[in-house]
Structure 1
Amino acid sequence: MSCSHGAGRRMGRKQAQKELDLAAEKERLDAIGVIHGIRNTKDLDEAPGAYKDISVVMANQQDLVDIVVELRPLAVIKG
């Protein structure tokens, strides 16, 4: 009786900093209206592109969970 508590990482932190496109990740968050603090490549370790697609993760565990609500972030600020 266990399921994922989030999407999970698609790539490691250093890999994300090297491979993700800064402008594209900023645009991705801006397009959906998420306030963010992504300013340079060091911030890409927590960018959306570093994580798995949550819809795929949820589809893979549909026999374990009933989706009641889908939450979306309002802001992502890295301290």
Structure 2
Amino acid sequence: MECRKDADVIDEIPMACKDIGAVMAAQRDLVNVVHTLKQVVCVKR
């Protein structure tokens, strides 16, 4: 398994994804969290 975060690996839109914890906290009165998923891998081609 490899994880690279050097200058040769460029994220197209670095701020495109919001922090899921912040999003769910903002929706606390609208939803009931049953499960929380964790990202394990991100594959870019």
TM-score for the superposition, normalised by structure 1: 0.40
Structure 2 gaps of 5+ residues are none
Counterpart in the other structure of 1:74: 40
How many positions carry a matched residue from both structures? 41
Q: Which has the higher helix share?
A: 1
Higher strand share: 1
Larger radius of gyration: 2
Moved over 2 A (4+): 35-39
Matched, 1:57 2:26: no
Q: What SS class does the counterpart of residue 76 from structure 1 fall into? A: coil
- SS state at 2:32 partner: coil
TM-score, normalising length from structure 2? 0.60
Percent identical: 32
Higher relative contact order (CA 8 A, sep 6+): 1
RMSD of aligned Cα (Å): 2.3
